[in-house]
Structure 1
Amino acid sequence: KEKRKRTAFHFAAEKSDNSNLKWLVKELGSDCLTVPDKYGNMAVHLAAQHQPVDSLQFIFDQIAAEMFSLKNNRGETPTDVVESNRCRTDQSAKRAWISSTQPQLEASRPPAGSSAPTAASAGPEGPPLLERWDAVRLIGRGAFGEVHEVRTDTGVTCAAKTLRLPVQLGDELPSVSTEIHRAIESERNLCRLRHPNVVRFLHIAQPEPATVVVFMELLDGRSLERFIDNKPLDELTIRDFSEQICRALLYLHSRQPPVIHRDINCSNIIVCADNTRIKLIDFGLSIKLEQSVSHMSASTQAPKGTLNFMAPELLGAGESDSVQYSRESDIWAFGCSVFQMASGARPFANAKSMLGMAKLIDRKGAPALPDGRSAELQDFYSRCTAMDRRRRKAAQELLEQEFLRKNL
């Protein structure tokens, strides 16, 4: 820092290109993007003034909705800077980008004068309920529990996923409850996530020792798996959905600490009612919670999740005391989702067990995409599904691949 209290991020944001800013974020993380200088200006204000429009998208990928509410000492947001006569480049393009991006963040807000707040109107400031909630209808049922549309005692309508965790014979319930509570506390940062391609988490409750209820925004749409319906998607749609998933992953993986999804698959990606926007849901919280119980019970910690989408290192982790989910395992699972979009079928559809799955991957690697797919899509897919996790591309690098950048 110098006398104006500026960091390297401020100086990088004043340059006409964003290569230095991107490098700093990659090496040091995104937290410094919101550090103010003496005048309250943050890197995002300076980028809005000096850099091309893609810098705004890059910063948005790091901190999402927060960027629109950041104010300097004049009370100016980055949008205000773009509208001012101090904006030196790409002003029209920046205005267009802001006009198209802000509505995505506001789409799920209740209309003015609405008497009943929706899930998206509740926030991290407090839980969407005081003591109780009533089920309105069953949305779905899975291995760990059920998802209902509920209405809480504060009038919030949202989705509630009830997770009933397996308890081993001989487990002491107070100990189980304590371990689950610790796991829940470590996941509280989910309720602070704000991104147009990530479901909004509202609250996590523990009404019973081995029962957890996760409250989320109520989405109008269907899973990507149902959207695909066993039929391949065209490449324009694959590109659009893949870009949105990559932006969501970049946002999650750039958090401090990083947010790892743990269970990306086409059932955990929702295509909203307009058939153009997608959201990641169901962040493998049930996996984290069951692991906490398994650890306490000294039972085997085999990898959990959707078998067809598990990365090779998870399948080979049986000898380890702890299965290591990572950014790279998320990228592999995303690649498997690309395969399903391109082929209409889940990868490794014939695998019936973890052992069979491990053998298939060890022998053949990731399955090949169907004939007729473009070279750019083939290349993009291969960068997601490298056997060596160190060779898989991070979300930011995937966004720069030709498949997502070309004009189909």
Structure 2
Amino acid sequence: MTNDAGDEDKEEFVEVDPTSRYGRYDELMGAGAVKKVYRAFDQEEGIEVAWNQVKLRNFTDDESMINRLFSEVGLLRQLKNKNIISLYSVWRDEKRNTLNFITEACTSGNLREYRKKHKQVSTKALKKWSRQILKGLDYLHSSEPCVIHRDLNCSNVFINGNIGQVKIGDFGLAVTVGRNHSAHSVIGTPEFMAPELYDEDYTELIDIYSFGMCLLELVTLEVPYSECDNVAKIFKKVTSGVRPEAMKKVKDPEVAAFIEKCLAQPRARPSAADLLKDPFFDGIYDDDDEENADE
């Protein structure tokens, strides 16, 4: 589908998917350890999307990594929730040796960068964002089988800033667990990892701990444990139950108490569903709450 009018102003695609529905631009929206995310366009719907591309040659000797990437994509396809990034299409390009998947694009990028850009944010707005993250977690944790994200941090949460809508993304480390809801491998971003993760025996409640650290970062604009200059020091503090220095910067006692609930020992740590009922969120609603009530 082409339109010859104003061709000189037209932004060229550098790549299209096998169906010719999605076109990739040369503009990088983000890059992680494993994948690059480009701005792209869905010609059928007329909307901007994100084109995630993984160069598989980087992992030719690591079949487990390739399997994990495929499982992330398989997982994402099954997830349907307003607070989880949607996946539209996936394919492997044998010629370029890449794995490509098209996901929903969030207009304002990740929450870490967005928060840095907007220094003046009210507690009410932070609560609105937090509540949406918890709604996403509640959806994951109550799925059958239960999905544990395992790498929740502010760079893996995305926002449509024009409507204040928050969505959890980046499921590269996620795992599904059976009825006993326990998992065993040590994985994640050290500053956000719950102490029991290091014991290699944990449940979905590790995501609640990570959520507490996300909220701490959103409130203080400081990555937890930034006072530590290496992972070993973070590990020592986390496993000894020493809180990040950033906790001292939380001036609002209600916010500090709520974060502490999230960082409690696993047995005392509430679920996402419990936290959503917490008085902390009294009077905080999203635009979709009435919609959900009707579902």
Q: TM-score range by the shorter chain?
A: 0.7 to 0.9
What does the per-residue CA deviation read over 1:313-351, in whole Å, with 9 as the maximum and x for residues that have no partner?
A: 22344xxxxxx6741111111110110111111111123
Distance, in Å, in 1 between the alignment partners of 2:229 and 2:101 is 30
SS of residue matched to 2:101? strand
Distance, in Å, in 2 between the alignment partners of 1:275 and 1:346 is 25
Larger Rg: 1
What does the per-residue CA deviation read over 1:7-45, in whole Å, with 9 as the maximum and x for residues that have no partner?
A: xxxxxxxxxxxxxxxxxxxxxxxxxxxxxxxxxxxxxxx
Change (3 A) 1:187 1:142: closer
SS of residue matched to 1:206? strand
Amino acid aligned to 2:35: G
Is 2:105 the counterpart of 1:218?
yes
Q: Is the 8 A contact 1:315 1:354 kept in 2?
A: no
Q: Is the 8 A contact 1:180 1:210 kept in 2?
A: no
Distance, in Å, in 1 between the alignment partners of 2:145 and 2:252 is 37
TM-score, normalization by structure 2: 0.73
Match of 1:167 in 2: 59
Which consecutive unaligned segments of at least 5 residues does structure 1 have? Answer: 1-127, 290-300, 318-323
Which consecutive unaligned segments of at least 5 residues does structure 2 have? Answer: 1-16, 176-183, 286-295
Matches within 5 A, 1:304-323: 304-317=187-200
Matches within 5 A, 1:152-301: 157-164=48-55, 166-167=58-59, 171=61, 176=63, 180-181=66-67, 184-185=70-71, 187-208=73-94, 211-229=98-116, 231=119, 233-274=121-162, 276-283=164-171, 285=172, 287=173
Change (3 A) 1:372 1:256: same
Change (3 A) 1:232 1:344: farther
Deviation (angstroms), 1:148: 0.8
Match of 1:352 in 2: 229
Aligned alpha-carbon RMSD (Å):
3.3
Matches within 5 A, 1:25-104: none
Q: Point out the more displaced range, 146-155 or 397-406.
A: 146-155
Which structure features the higher share of strand residues? 2
Alignment identity in percent?
Answer: 26
Distance, in Å, in 2 between the alignment partners of 1:325 and 1:278 is 26
Total equivalences in the alignment: 254
SS of residue matched to 1:222? coil
Deviation (angstroms), 1:407: 6.9
Is 2:258 the counterpart of 1:380?
yes
Q: Is the 8 A contact 1:269 1:278 kept in 2?
A: yes
Deviation (angstroms), 1:250: 0.7
Deviation (angstroms), 1:356: 1.5
Match of 1:139 in 2: 29
Amino acid aligned to 1:221: S
Deviation (angstroms), 1:402: 1.5
Change (3 A) 1:182 1:339: closer
Distance, in Å, in 1 between the alignment partners of 2:277 and 2:92 is 42
Deviation (angstroms), 1:246: 0.9
Change (3 A) 1:266 1:182: closer
Which structure features the higher share of helix residues? 1
Q: Is the 8 A contact 1:265 1:309 kept in 2?
A: yes
Distance, in Å, in 2 between the alignment partners of 1:187 and 1:222 is 20
Amino acid aligned to 1:197: N
TM-score, normalization by structure 1: 0.54
Q: Is the 8 A contact 2:31 2:37 kept in 1?
A: yes
